Amino acid sequence: MTAKGIVDIRATAHHGRDRRAQEAERLATKRRLFLILNGKSAPREDVRLAVARVRDAGHEVLVRVTYEPQDVARFVGEALCAQPRPDVIVAGGGDGTLNQVVAALLAADAGPDDVAVGVLPLGTANDFAAGLALPAEDPAAALAICAEGEIRTIDAARVNERVFINLATGGTVTQITREADPRAKRLLGGAAYLVAGASHIGRLSPSKARFSADGFSWEGDFLAMAIGNGRLAGGGVALCPEARLDDGLLDLSLFPQPDADHVLGLLSRMLSETEAPLESYAETARFSSLTVESDAQLSLNLDGEPMSADRLKVEVLPGAIRFVTGAAPEGLLT
């Protein structure tokens, strides 16, 4: 055997030992999880089994169940004051619950080194979790990732005084997602938004605004806009397909008002989990700071949480959160 072959074998063996040592260290590390569980999901038997399974694996899981809107912030404060402090605060619910946890952490001036965030996806769309390819259909597997998955530092974002971690959407699509029948959402999931959209076809009205960022300026009528730290919204639609969670930038996808022949096609693509690309409809930009101005109130949806304003100051918050991402899809993280 040549000297090069011996070196290659030794290098391969050393690499294998390193990987085995890293895996053994990961399994030996037991995490303390602080699960903030949306009260609507508390009765679910699969959630109870997920908590029991993670506890059986040797991890500590403390559970708090929300009843009133302010409970999330109160429980985040409790977690930050706990001794010992939890390793991961887990948002058990939909995108709105996750938004509230992240907002409460940032409002408490908790730095990314203080505590990590994880998600147990239990909502209707679970868009942020879906973007990370987390197993929303298997709560036990999702909670196990919170206990054992890789933790990475990611960005968050702010619109005026409100925070989001996934996407901020606005325009007619936001109105449609607000008006989707909750019963249909439970039965149909993300497809409920398409059903709601079909009922709006005859009365769609565009929004009008001015957008300005470094190297980008646009003014006119638009049907929808999406500002993405993450990629998916509205039940799995890739509105910002090139966004990265840790690049210190946000992505804008702006959909100008199309002619009458293309309205239904655009709406159906935006409100269903189709593979058809949306880029041909969109104006796009990437920025760290964006200003949006309108003569009328603009309705927005921040990770499922509504807001409205006639002037929006949007900025990225680089490296604001440590998040249990698990094995995220290629390209979503740098």
Nearest in space to 242 (alpha carbons), one of 277, 268, 281 = 277
H-run or E-run covering 232: strand 232-233
Nearest in space to 317 (alpha carbons), one of 287, 288, 284, 292 = 288
Alpha carbon distance 149, 3 (integer Å): 39
Encode burial over 135-153: b for 16+ CB neighbours within 10 A, e otherwise. Answer: bbeebbebbbbbbbbebbb
Q: How far is CA 101 from CA 5, 70, 79, 164, 198, in A?
A: 53, 11, 11, 10, 33
Instruction: Check whether the bond before 256 is cis (ω within 30° of 0).
Output: no
Q: Are strands 88-93 and 32-37 parallel, antiparallel or unpaired?
A: parallel
Radius of gyration of the chain (CA): 21
Q: How far is CA 39 from CA 62, 76, 216, 317, in A?
A: 15, 15, 43, 30
Alpha carbon distance 318, 116 (integer Å): 15
Q: Which residues contact 142 (CB under 8 A, 6 or more apart)?
A: 50, 119, 120, 121, 129, 134, 135, 136
330 catalytically annotated: no
Of 60, 293, 305, 315, catalytic:
305
Are 239 and 250 within 8 A, CB to CB? no
Are 125 and 236 within 8 A, CB to CB? yes
Q: Which residues contact 2 (CB under 8 A, 6 or more apart)?
A: none
For 239, list phi and psi in degrees, rounded to 5: -80, -30
> Catalytic positions, please?
305
